[in-house]
Structure formats: C-alpha cells, structure tokens
Amino acid sequence: GELSPVISPVQFRSGAGASAQLSPVLLGYTPLLDANAALQALDGAVKAYDLGRGDWPSMPVLQRIGHVEKFLGLMQQQRREVVRLLMWEIGKNYTDAAKEFDRTCDYIRDTIAALKQQDRAASHFIIEQGALGKIRRVPVGVALCMGPFNYPLNETFTTLIPALIMGNTVIFKPAKYGVLLIQPLLRAFQQSFPAGVINIIYGRGRETVGVLMESGKIDLFAFIGTNKGASDLKRMHPKPHRLRAVLGLDAKNPGIIFADADFKRTLSEVVSGALSFNGQRCTALKILFVERSIADRFVTELSAAVAKLPLGMPWDKDVAITPLPEPGKTVFLTELLQDALAKGAAVQNPNGGETAGPLFRPAVLYPVNSQMRLYNEEQFGPLVPVVPFDHIDEVIDYVVNSNFGQQLSIFGQNARQVGELVDIFANQVGRININAQCQRGPDSFPFNGRKDSAEGTLSVVDALRQFSIPTLVATKYQDGDVA
Ligand code: G3H
C-alpha cells in the first residue's frame, strides 16, 4: 500500500553565513493504512476477544503475565534503537529519551508485580446478610489505545500494557510524531502475543480511527492528547455512553510563588517544571503567579537561569532546549508571544522567543495579565508567563474559573497558608505539589485531573482497575450449604 514519509524535526545546516540552508532529514516510512485496513485490524481484535470467550481474555492471569514478561525481555534488547529514534523523531535529548525508555520498562515490571500480588489476593469472597459473593475481574473488551507525541513510548504503554495484561484485545495507533520508534518493537509484539491480541494501525486519524469509533465495536478508549482529539473521536461512537474512556488531556498548571518561598529551590523547580522537554509536557508549569513584593526580583533571576539553558541538538551534551517536532509550532508560539507583547508584557531574557528553524529560544514574559491569550491558553512549548499577584484570592479565582484542573504547585514556607490552600484546591485539581514542580511520576502515584483535563485515573495499580471490571457472582446461602 501507500507509504508515508517520516521527517525529523532535527535539521542539518549546510553552507555558511547568509547562504546557509537547513535541510530536513528523512528518517523512514510508515504504511499509510486506509479505512478498510483499519477495519480489518478491528475484526482481528473483535475475534480474538470473542465476547470475552477468546483464548486471551479467558487465559489465567499468570499465563497472560508470562506473555508480557516475554515482551519486556525482547523490548529491552531494542533500547538503543528506540532511544535513538526518540531523539530523531521528537527531538528529545539523550538523557530524557533514555529515561523515557527505562521508565517504561520499570512501569511494565511494576505492573507485572502489582498484578501478581493482586492475583494472590484475588479470590476473595464476601459473605454478607445471607449472600455469598465472589469478585471476578474481567476485561472490558476491545481497547483503542492512543498516546501523545511528547511521550510516544511511555504514555502509550501506560495504557497499552494494562489493557493487554488485564485481558483486553487492543488496537493501538502510534502517536503522529514518534511513530517509527514502534517499528523496532514490532517483532517483539509478534513473538510475545497471540494473533489478534494486539493490532497496530498507522495512517490519518480521521480515516482510520474514525471508522473504528463509528463501528461501535470499541469498548474502551484510552487516549492521551488534546481535548479536541478526544471529543471528536468520542462523538463518532454511536453509543458514547457505553464507551469506557481513560483520558489524559489539556492542562494549564499554575505555579503559585509566595514571598517567603525558598528562592533557590523554587527557581530550580520552576525552570525544570516549565521547560523540561521544551515545555512540551502536559504536566509542565504553564503559568506562574508570583507575590508582587518579590515578583521583579524573581523574574530577574528566572530570566537569568532561562538564558543559561543551552539550545542544541538532542545528542549535544547537557542540551536543554531542542527542536520542536510539530510543524508550525514556532509560528503558534510566536503568535502567543506577540499577543502578550501587544498587551503590555515584555520578554525578560535576552533573545527570548527567537527562532531558528524548529528551534525556539524560551521566553519569560512579564507582567502577564488576564487579557492575554497566554493567561488561559495552553502553550505546550517554551513560553513562561509570569503574573504578579497582590492577594491570593486572585489566584484562587484563576484556579476555580479555569477549564482545566490537572495539577498545581505551591511554593512557600507558611505551613498554615499552604495547608489552607491545599484544602481549597483539593476539589479543583488532581494533584497539589508543595515546594515542587508539577509532574506525573512516580508512576505508582495516581495520575488524573478535574474538569476538562482528564477522565479516569492512571497509576500502576489504578490502571489495572481502569482496564477491567469487577463482576460479582453472588449466591444466597443457607445453613448447611457448602461454599
Ligand atoms: O505530558 C504529560 C506527561 O504525563 C508528563 O509526564 O511529568 O513525568 O514528565 P512527566
């Protein structure tokens, strides 16, 4: 069939001076599947599930774990190639790319261990008011798993692995960028899982995933990406209320910095919270509220720290800021930046916002106000908006009125003040970080969010629940019955 080229965001400079040219690098090709091929994959998954009577869903848990263990062993042999592709396809620096691979292997290992432990404790009975019940955890059905480009391995596998291990059959569509890196793992999938259990599809989303949704045969939709992508797809399902969804979506995580915060520690948490992997993390700090009495000094030091972040290629030693994989992203970021400048903010660090091909030099913008797009819109890139505040109520209003509710960070030393805010924000976001940046890990911690930021909860243990259903088998008993 048709092939689709994969171009790297990492570009090569040829020539010098004004005549220098940046040349795109062709990394390889992926098959471009059409709707029919996607439906064939669906057919494979539906047959392998066979209403829960297929070999895979009805296999004993320990045996299914054996298949995942085999996969993990084979996957580890591909570390070098997958890490290399993470660098080339999405521009992730070597350290973070290697971390992503290793974290994913740890996650699979922890999932196996957690399930083994649960399995040992699984056969529990409930005896209550003359009824005897036994809980059986059964799979949900056919799962569609889709991950984002920023963690194309890790975040895809944090739904794919629990879906498989709990007995679902899976259709998995690799992220738009970070798609080739699945190829070194294809053989491992093939050698580890029976036919039809895992089906990988490539191609244009609307054409491929759209028909799967329209078929009504997807039971579980695990998607980490944008709200628009998730709602467009969910809407295509003829019975969306029957679709179990596990979603990780948009966020605008605020960092709240009080005058009494430990300055050095806060700076270092904020720089990495806002700018690791160029700010392309759903968990990044995306807006900073700083108490006015320290705002100028904080911004000066923050800008100095940001100015020191080295820009370069993913393989450069200690590089922090790397090429952005989404075409057109630098244009979008420049629009947000210009909008803030037109409404009274200034770029605080030298050359902030400057672009060179897919590279975008991070920019600290200050003072940001509610009229600017950056105040509410998610930038998902290296822009750091700073808002000075006089009273904490201004920040509380922001959080309460925001459409998002993934996480936030509070930096300060006054335990009472921090404690009061924790009480207020506990109903607004999925995670509150104290004197620490927002982040997903450790992976054993629940990862979720409020409002438009998420549906369901992921973590090693939570995912096992999310991808299965407790079915109760209950009988009435009378004295003398044998259980
Ligand atoms: O893009 C969102 C990821 O879940 C971020 O994960 O906080 O571990 O970098 P992280």
Q: How far apart are CA 437 and CA 443, in angstroms?
A: 16
**Distance from residue 453's CA to the centre of ligand 1 (Å):** 13
Q: Which pLDDT value is given to residue 121?
A: 63
**Distance from residue 170's CA to the centre of ligand 1 (Å):** 23
Q: Which pLDDT value is given to residue 220?
A: 98
Strands 407-411 and 431-434: parallel
Q: Which amino acid is at 402?
A: S
Answer whether 246's CB lies under 8 Å from 223's CB.
yes
At which residue do the structure tokens 């605020």 appear? 254
Residue 180 β-bridge partners: none
Average pLDDT of each block of 10 consecutive residues along the chain (483 residues)?
A: 88 70 86 93 98 97 97 98 97 97 98 90 74 90 97 97 98 94 96 97 89 97 96 95 96 98 97 98 98 98 98 94 95 98 98 94 98 98 98 98 98 98 98 98 96 96 95 82 59
Q: Which pLDDT value is given to residue 132?
A: 87
Calculate the alpha carbon distances from 411 to 11, 236, 256 in Å: 39, 43, 6
Strands 285-291 and 346-347: unpaired
Could you report the predicted ipTM of this complex, rounded to two decimals?
A: 0.96
Kindly report the protein residue whose alpha carbon is nearest to atom 8 of ligand 1.
440
**Which of 151, 224, 277, 448 has the most ligand 1 atoms within 8 A of CB, as the residue to mutate?**
151
Q: Which residues contact 302 (CB under 8 A, 6 or more apart)?
A: 267, 270, 271, 348, 364, 384, 386
Strands 285-291 and 383-389: parallel
Q: Which pLDDT value is given to residue 483?
A: 52
Answer whether 22's CB lies under 8 Å from 43's CB.
no
Q: Which pLDDT value is given to residue 411?
A: 98
**Distance from residue 440's CA to the centre of ligand 1 (Å):** 5
**Distance from residue 275's CA to the centre of ligand 1 (Å):** 12
Provide the total of helices (H) and of strands (E) in the chain, helices listed first.
Answer: 16, 22
282 Cβ below 6 A of ligand 1 = yes
Q: From the CB of residue 24, how many other CB atoms can be counted at a distance below 10 Å?
A: 14
Kindly report the protein residue whose alpha carbon is nearest to atom 2 of ligand 1.
282
Q: Which pLDDT value is given to residue 12?
A: 72
Q: Which pLDDT value is given to residue 478?
A: 72
**Distance from residue 49's CA to the centre of ligand 1 (Å):** 31
DSSP state of 175: -
**Distance from residue 155's CA to the centre of ligand 1 (Å):** 8
283 Cβ below 6 A of ligand 1 = yes
Kindly report the protein residue whose alpha carbon is nearest to atom 7 of ligand 1.
439
Q: Which atom of ligand 1 is nearest to the CA of 155?
A: 4
**Distance from residue 225's CA to the centre of ligand 1 (Å):** 11
440 Cβ below 6 A of ligand 1 = yes
